[in-house]
Amino acid sequence: MLIAARIILGIIVLILAGYGLITGNHEASPYMMFFMGAMLLVMGISEIKSERKRLGIFCMSASLFVFYVAVKGFLLN
């Protein structure tokens, strides 16, 4: 279940990043950051479940930072 969520979120992030890179339109960047934060959160949960707590906590803290950046992007636009 977590592997499928990680793959789906990764594909969404890849599509949004490709769209911004090809068109030069960076209005979708906050959405990309939101989905990247969700992907990091899922990765952190997966790592904690597989008994790698240090890496899981790192992924979860990185996801909090990315969520913060996404919220700032939503509020500034």
Average pLDDT over every residue of 55-72: 95
Residue appearing with tokens 């479940």: 49
Cβ-proximal residues to 49 (8 Å cutoff; 6+ apart), any chain: 2
pLDDT at residue 1, as a whole number: 87
Rounded to two decimals, what is the model's pTM? 0.89
| Residue 27 phi, psi (nearest 5) | -75, -15
More confident residue, 8 or 1: 8
Average pLDDT, the chain: 93
Average pLDDT over every residue of 52-74: 94
CA gap 45, 50 in Å, rounded: 9
